């Protein structure tokens, strides 16, 4: 049965936004999927290669295992695929220099995973496909394979640090019981698409503990609107100053997940790094867990990924992997975003035990 969609709310009010954004329109969310009996399922599969045909076959079976893409995509839908290219070309070249690897084999979403997902999404009837991230620099898409993938898919690449193809950014509400932000400034397209997909890398994170499907949402907001100081070059306001990151980072993640809910969460854990989110973390080290995960509950997908990484998805604050702050999965569960309790999750495909690949967490700060 096809999903039912809620239409965008009418314009409500303008609010002032500091930084480079002068006035932002608050609008509602588009592309809300109808729950299905398979919403709580997480597909887990051992995959050892980035060969496109192997990826496509694996992902097609995984999508079938969670109820099929027809619960998520209808004919002609506009689909956004959020990838993770953290650190930009500088980080990519660090990976090449330090490890002799392409960034997709270390800390970035691999372009061939994006290609395979895009082909399956297109086969499911999608109209326009957008590949999106708030990229660190202008070369991230062009120099590392993503422009070629977009061309093959006839997809559009968007840098979310720009309001293009619109003239200005807009603001979307988080909803009641927000934790840090009551709204976020976004590129208007983010909440106009019919289906929003997150393809994250399986990694640990210095501040957030892990960076998976939920933490991938940090790249949605324009850097210029979320700098503590002009010229920071990063979304420093999401981290706060001093030790504020211990609560601010995990709570901002939850607020983002409510402002822009994820319809399909996919985690690339075929090849990645441990003990850090990028090569600028001195302890970061390449690993090859050889796994893919997919599901419609982004908290559940992250929870299963944590278990595969050898961690407890219900871990307390300052317990591994959340050694430097709160457990954002637990906070998201309390806000109704999904569940982080493994007993409530139907894992299909390979078992957690068979796929387990213990990670070294980031160091305690």
Higher pLDDT, 56 or 3: 56
Taking the CB of residue 247, how many other CB atoms lie within 10 A of it? 16
pLDDT band at 138 (very low <50, low <70, confident <90, very high): confident
Q: Please give the average per-residue pLDDT across 26-48, as a whole number.
A: 67
Percentage of the chain exceeding pLDDT 90? 87
Report, as an integer, the average pLDDT of 3-18: 29
Give me the torsion for CA of 307, 313, 315, 316, rounded to 10°.
Answer: 160
pLDDT at 38: 64
Residue 5 lies in a domain: no
- 310 falls within a domain: yes
Angle at 327 between CA 326 and CA 332, to 5 degrees: 115
CA 9 from centre of chain:
25
Distance in angstroms (rounded) separating the CA atoms of residues 280 and 297: 31
Asked if residue 3 is part of any domain, the answer here is: no
Q: Is residue 64 part of a domain?
A: yes
**Interval 72-129: pLDDT, tens:** 999 999 999 999 999 999 999 999 999 999 999 999 999 999 999 999 999 999 999 9
Question: In which domain, by residue range, is 339 found?
Answer: 14-355
Domain membership flag for residue 220:
yes
Of 286 and 231, the structure prediction assigns the larger pLDDT to 286
In a domain, 4, yes or no: no
Q: Please give, one letter per residue, the 3-state secondary structure of 6-30.
A: CCCCCCCCEEECCCCCCEEEECCCC
Identify the pLDDT of residue 40: 86
**pLDDT tens digits, one per residue of 49-65:** 999 999 999 999 999 99
Q: How many domains does the chain have?
A: 1
Q: How far apart (Å, rounded) are the C-alpha atoms in residues 141 and 273?
A: 21
pLDDT on residue 31: 44
The pLDDT value given to residue 52: 93
Contact 59, 292 (CB under 8 A): yes
The Cβ of residue 167 has, within 10 Å, a number of other Cβ atoms equal to 7
DSSP state of 129: E
**Lookup: tokens for 5:** 């969609």
Beta-bridge partners for 157: 131
Is residue 9 assigned to a domain? no
Report CA Rg, the chain: 19
Q: What is the pLDDT of residues 24-36, one digit of tens each?
A: 344 444 444 444 4
Judge whether residue 13 has pLDDT over 50: no
Q: What percent of the chain has pLDDT over 70?
A: 90
| Under 8 Å between Cβ of 215 and 208 | yes
Structure tokens of 6?
A: 């809620």
Mean pLDDT of the chain: 91
The predicted-structure confidence for 290-306, as pLDDT tens digits, reads as follows: 999 999 999 999 999 99
- Measured CA to CA in angstroms, residue 254 lies from 33, 182, 188, 190, 210 at distances of 19, 11, 20, 17, 14
CA distance 252 to 310: 25
pLDDT band for position 7 (cuts 50, 70, 90): very low
Residue 274 maps to a domain: yes
Q: What is the pLDDT of residue 327?
A: 98
Asked whether the beta carbons of 172 and 243 are under 8 A apart, the reply is no
């Amino acid at each position: 049965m096809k999903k039912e969609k809620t239409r965008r709310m009418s314009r409500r009010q303008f609010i002032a936004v500091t930084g480079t954004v002068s006035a932002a329109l608050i609008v509602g969310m588009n592309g809300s999927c109808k729950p299905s009996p398979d919403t709580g399922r997480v597909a887990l599969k051992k995959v050892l290669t980035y060969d496109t045909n192997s990826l496509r076959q694996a992902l097609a079976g995984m999508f079938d295992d969670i109820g099929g893409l027809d619960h998520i995509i209808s004919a002609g839908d506009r689909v956004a695929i959020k990838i993770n290219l953290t650190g930009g070309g500088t980080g990519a070249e660090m990976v090449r220099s330090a490890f002799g690897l392409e960034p997709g084999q270390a800390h970035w979403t691999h372009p061939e995973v994006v290609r395979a997902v895009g082909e399956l999404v297109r086969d499911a009837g999608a109209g326009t496909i957008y590949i999106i991230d708030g990229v660190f620099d202008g070369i991230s898409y062009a120099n590392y394979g993503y422009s070629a993938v977009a061309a093959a898919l006839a997809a559009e690449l968007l840098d979310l640090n720009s309001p293009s193809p619109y003239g200005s950014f807009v603001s979307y509400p988080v909803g009641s019981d927000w934790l840090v932000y009551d709204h976020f400034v976004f590129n208007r397209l983010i909440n106009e698409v019919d289906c929003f997909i997150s393809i994250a890398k399986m990694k640990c994170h210095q501040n957030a503990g892990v960076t998976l499907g939920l933490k991938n949402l940090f790249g949605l907001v324009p850097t210029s609107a979320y700098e503590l100081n002009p010229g920071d070059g990063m979304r420093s306001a999401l981290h706060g100053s001093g030790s504020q990151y211990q609560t601010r980072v995990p709570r901002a993640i939850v607020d983002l997940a409510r402002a822009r809910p994820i319809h399909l969460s996919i985690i690339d854990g075929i090849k990645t790094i441990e003990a850090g989110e990028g090569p600028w973390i001195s302890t970061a080290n390449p690993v090859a867990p050889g796994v893919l995960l997919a599901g419609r509950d982004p908290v559940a997908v992250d929870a299963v990924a944590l278990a595969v990484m050898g961690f407890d998805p219900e871990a307390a604050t300052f317990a591994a992997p959340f050694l430097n702050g709160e457990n954002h999965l637990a906070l998201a569960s309390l806000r109704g975003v999904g569940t982080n309790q493994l007993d409530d999750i139907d894992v299909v495909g390979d078992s957690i035990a068979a796929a387990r690949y213990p990670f070294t967490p980031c160091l305690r700060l």
